Structure formats: C-alpha cells, structure tokens
Amino acid sequence: MAKDHQHFLTENKDGILVVTFNHSNKHNPFNEKMMLGLVDILQKANTDETVRAIVLTGGEHFCVGGDFNEVQKMSTAEEVDAWVKRIANSYKAPLTTYKPVIAAANGFTIGFGYQLFLTADYRIAAHDTKFLMPELEKGIACTFGATMLAHILGGIGRMQGIIYGSSAVKPSEDSIVHIYVPKEQVIERAMLEAKRLAQFPSPSFSTTKKLISSWFIKKLDEITPDSILAHQAAILSRSAQPHFQKILHLNHRQASPVLSINSQPMRSYVTNIRPATTTRYAHGFPFQAYHPPMYTRHLPMITSQLHDSNSFVTQMMNRAKNNTIHLLKRAK
C-alpha cells in the first residue's frame, strides 16, 4: 500500500515541523494510508537536519479514531493482524523520533487519536477537548489504550511534565495533558513549547528520550501479539458492527451530499412537490390536468442513486411520490 501524504498538511516554521491531520472528514478518522503516511513523515523528520521539533495537530478535531469504513469490512484474521500492526507502528513512530514531539489537541480526541496523543513527549490541549476511549462499550478491544494509560498514569506522564516542562509541577496537574489552554491558543502554545524544547542540547535530549521511549516501545511490542488476538476475537465476532453503522450513517448525513440529475441539484426535485397543471377540454368543458413533477418521472433513477444516501431524502422522495399518486387519483 502506498504511503499517503494527501491527508496531511506539513510546514516547516523556523525548524518546527507542523504536521496537521487533514482528512476530508473534519474529525480525521485514520485509515491505512494515513497511518503509513504519518510513519513516513516522522521517519523523514527524524533525519532532516532542518527539523528541530515536531507539532502534531488536527485542526478542528485532533482525531476521532480509526476509519470505520475500513474496519467494518474486515472479515479475516489476516486483515485484523495487519491492521493492528499498522496501529502499533503508528504509535511507535513518535516514540522513535528522537526530537521533541508535541501534540496539540482540541475537539474530539478518541480511541486511536487519544492513544496517538499519548505517544507525544509534551501534550497541549484545549479545555474543552473530548478525550474518550469508548472501545469496550462498543465491542472493540482496548488493549493498547489500557496499557498506555497504565504506563502514563503510573508515573511516566508526571515525569515527562517535570523533565520536559523544566518547571515545578503541581500535584493536581494531569499526567495525560501537560498544559490546558483556551482552544484558540492551542497551536500558539504548542509552537511556543516546541521552540523551547528545540533549544535543548540535542545529545542530552535524544539520549534521554531514547531511554524513556524504550520502556514504552518494549511494552507495545510485548502486548502486540495479544492485542492481535483480542482484536481478531472482537472484530470477527461482528459485535461492533452496530456501532460502525451508526457512526458511518451519522458521518454520511453530516456530509449532506447534493445529488444531481441532468446537472440539476436533486434538492430542486425534492422540494418541488406541487404537480404541474394545464387546462384541457373534454366535451367542451375545461378541466385541470395534473402532470407528475419531474422527480417522479425520474424516480427509478433517483431511487437507485439514493441507495446509500441519507434516509431523510429517501423519506421525502416517498412522500412526494405518494402525494403525486393521490393528486392523480383526484384528477381522474
């Protein structure tokens, strides 16, 4: 599978590489190409002498998790095996980039996105960021997330805040998020912290990060085989399918595609539910003849195009069709 950089915006700002997740879906679901693409970007940044620190961000939302369009189609143990290994490699990419990696989150930071956030050295988030790991409730295994939280909440997160923050840490501060800021200041603060960390002498930073990351990477490697088995059991049981379908349906409705017929928006056919009339004569007496609107003449074609569209439009089409049939009966 080719690496994909289409879903990323990258910019080197005075030695700070800003990597913005830029999926066409604003929630940034990570698919196979994005996982491979992120690994490729970070590996290149690691050897690029013009890059001194990296900021990972997602725009309106950091990352809502994996791409269910792909996951719902998995039907073999081999497919799940490859998927879990891609996830593990995505998590290890920031850990093996021996330059400062700062994560800047806002909006939804869920599942895979939450766990990717945890792999950064220093973590900035908006006050209203939604951090969720709902996998177990939805029928998906949460082995990586459980391991990361145990690792970070067990002390490493607090340690990162102390050594990378280089300042006193209050006992009440969060090990998961090192700094909370208003959402309009997330990128600004992430850039400020990236520039500060970039000034640290490289040998001391890189060697220390290698040691810290080695604990994390070793644990990820240890649990990957069991994670594969757990995800195979969960996904192949199809227990998460209702959740996948619900999320995909909501995403589809939010996209609100405007279908077209003969280059005209279908919305015009749906909203025009009044049938056309002409005056005709029978036995010398005038009467109003009803003609089905254009959309009913194209109903078979519209219906086929609506197979995967949202149910609201389908309901509108059926209602319009029934109204037209009723009016035609009246005309008789």
Using one digit for the tens of pLDDT, what is the confidence trace for 288-320?
A: 443 444 333 333 433 344 344 445 444 544 555
Residue positions counted in the chain: 332
| pTM (2 d.p.) | 0.70
- Asked, for residue 69, whether it belongs to a domain, the answer is yes
Q: Are residues 82 and 123 in the same domain?
A: yes
Residue bearing the bigger pLDDT, 325 or 52: 52
Domain final residue pick, 216, 240, 264: 240
Q: Are residues 281 and 199 in the same domain?
A: no
pLDDT confidence of residue 280: 43
pLDDT confidence of residue 236: 84
Q: Are residues 56 and 163 in the same domain?
A: yes
pLDDT confidence of residue 33: 92
Q: Are residues 219 and 306 in the same domain?
A: no
pLDDT confidence of residue 122: 95
| Residue 246 pLDDT exceeds 60 | yes
Q: Are residues 174 and 265 in the same domain?
A: no
pLDDT confidence of residue 158: 61
| Separation CA 313–CA 103 (nearest Å) | 40
Q: Are residues 236 and 267 in the same domain?
A: no
Q: Are residues 234 and 318 in the same domain?
A: no
- Asked, for residue 13, whether it belongs to a domain, the answer is yes
Q: Do residues 259 and 316 lie in contact, with contact meaning Cβ atoms separated by under 8 Å?
A: no
105-152, pLDDT tens digit by residue? 999 999 999 999 999 999 999 999 999 888 888 788 888 988 888 888
What's the 3-state SS for the chain?
Answer: CCCCCCCEEEEEECCEEEEEECCCCCCCEECHHHHHHHHHHHHHHHHCCCCCEEEEECCCCCECEECHHHHCCCCCHHHHHHHHHHHHHHHHHHHCCCCCEEEEECCEEECHHHHHHHCCCEEEEECCCEEECCHHHHCCCCHHHHHHHHHHHHHHHHHHHHHHHCCCCCCCCCCCCCEEECHHHHHHHHHHHHHHHHCCCHHHHHHHHHHHHHHHHHHHHHHHHHHHHHHHHHHHCCCCHHHHHHHHHHHHHHHCCCCEECCEEHHHHHHCCCCEEEEEEECCEEEEEEECCHHHHCHHHHHHHCCCCCHHHHHHHHHHHHHHHHHHHHHC
- Asked, for residue 2, whether it belongs to a domain, the answer is no
Domain final residue pick, 205, 240, 275: 240
Q: Are residues 235 and 260 in the same domain?
A: no
Q: Are residues 42 and 129 in the same domain?
A: yes
What percent of the chain has pLDDT above 70? 64
Q: Do residues 288 and 302 lie in contact, with contact meaning Cβ atoms separated by under 8 Å?
A: no
- Asked, for residue 246, whether it belongs to a domain, the answer is no
Domain final residue pick, 177, 211, 240: 240
**Phi, psi for 178 (deg, rounded to 5):** -80, -35
pLDDT confidence of residue 70: 84
Give the chain's domain count: 2
pLDDT confidence of residue 125: 95
- Asked, for residue 1, whether it belongs to a domain, the answer is no
- Asked, for residue 265, whether it belongs to a domain, the answer is yes
Q: Are residues 167 and 288 in the same domain?
A: no
Write the CATH number for 172: 3.90.226.10
Q: Are residues 116 and 233 in the same domain?
A: yes
| Residue 84 pLDDT exceeds 50 | yes
| Residue 329 pLDDT exceeds 90 | no
- Asked, for residue 314, whether it belongs to a domain, the answer is yes
Query: What letter represents residue 45's amino acid?
Result: A
Task: Tell me which residue range forms the domain holding 191.
Answer: 8-240
Angle ∠(222,46,57) on CA atoms, nearest 5:
85
Q: Are residues 174 and 264 in the same domain?
A: no
- Asked, for residue 17, whether it belongs to a domain, the answer is yes
